[in-house]
Amino acid sequence: RKEVEQDPGPFNVPEGATVAFNCTYSNSASQSFFWYRQDCRKEPKLLMSVYSSGNEDGRFTAQLNRASQYISLLIRDSKLSDSATYLCVVSLSGYALNFGKGTSLLVTP
Amino acid sequence: SAVISQKPSRDICQRGTSLTIQCQVDSQVTMMFWYRQQPGQSLTLIATANQGSEATYESGFVIDKFPISRPNLTFSTLTVSNMSPEDSSIYLCSVESQGEQSGNTIYFGEGSWLTVV
């Protein structure tokens, strides 16, 4: 079983739609959780950290469910510029990041 | 945040040759890492580049294939040795630095796109 699993998509949604991605992780001792965004042929960039209490940054909301070992990312009012691959990242400790393969999102006009 | 520059940004190499990728950071950082992202795959950590000592390699990666240098706190190199087409990948340098959000964050360079023919 992979350490971090995501639905690869692609998710095709119209502008303005709300879309949600889930990610599951296998190691219950994982400590830190993140969502990164990777545009085509670019490096990953941190979108947001995921906190136990859940956190929101503008149109983006991240949730963590430790009991079920999954993380979610909700994007409201999708923009064309949101089209990218979203990487779920889990860290057991320190700097050892485990990346999911990513979920592709395409927002269409 | 940290600004990370990688060179070369892309290259096409003959099998059997070696390529050295450079990573320069605009500030001193303790932790530097090298990742690989093969086509359609997730990022995989190759090694942690330690300043003044040998790099720490992850399972499946060895020093003979991926020698790493870290002469100071702002610079590191990764060499991909004796390349084969299977080494075609994006190689990413990353550092841990103070993030815009609370706590430290991992930042990535723009990557070096390597194609081995």
Q: Which of A85, A83, A1 is nearest to B41 (CA)?
A: A85
B15/B65 Cα distance (integer angstroms):
13
pLDDT at A14: 97
pLDDT at A101 exceeding the cut of 70: yes
- SS3 call for B87: helix
Residue B7 has pLDDT above 70, yes or no: yes
Beta strand pairing status for B56-57 and A84-91?
unpaired
User: Given pLDDT bands bounded at 50, 70 and 90, which one contains residue B103?
Assistant: low
Cβ-Cβ contacts under 8 Å between A and B: the total is 41
Q: Give B-chain residues touching A48 at CB under 8 angstroms.
A: 101
Which of B42, B48, B90, B93 to probe by mutation at the A interface, max A CB count within 10 Å?
Answer: B42
Contact call for B101 and A101, based on CB within 8 A:
no
- Structure confidence by residue, pLDDT tens digits, A6-26: 999 899 999 999 999 999 999
Contact between A108 and A58 (Cβ < 8 Å)? no
Lowest mean per-residue pLDDT among A5-9, A22-26, B25-29, B102-106: B102-106
CB neighbours (10 Å) of residue A39? Answer: 12
Chain A hits for B56, CB-CB cut-off 8 Å, are none
B108·A43 Cβ contact <8 A: yes
Is B29 near chain A, with CB under 8 Å?
A: no
A41 pLDDT exceeds 80? yes
Instruction: For residue A53, give the amino acid letter.
Output: S
Q: Say whether residue A48 is in contact with chain B using an 8 A CB cutoff.
A: yes
DSSP B99: -
- Tens digits of residue pLDDT in A63-93: 999 999 999 999 999 999 999 999 999 987 6
Residues B78 and B55: their CA atoms lie apart, in Å, by: 10
A96 to chain B: which residues are within 8 Å by CB?
Answer: 45
Q: Which residues pair with A18 in a beta bridge?
A: none
- Take residue B48 and report the two structure tokens written for it: 């942690």
Q: Are A45 and B108 in contact (CB under 8 A)?
A: yes
- A46 and B CB contact within 8 Å: yes
Give how far the C-alpha of residue B106 lies from the chain's centroid of Cα atoms, to the nearest Å.
Answer: 13
Tell me whether residues B110 and A42 touch, CB distance under 8 A. yes
The verdict on a CB contact (< 8 Å) between A95 and B41 is no
Across the interface, of B42, B107, B111, the residue whose CB is closest to A101 is B42
Measured between alpha carbons, how far is A76 from A64 in angstroms, rounded to an integer? 18
> Quick one: DSSP state of residue A20?
E
- In this complex, the residue of A43, A95, A100 whose CB is nearest that of residue B42 is A100
Chain B residues in contact with A58 (beta carbon < 8 A) = none
Listed residue (A28, A57, A44) closest to A88, CA to CA = A44
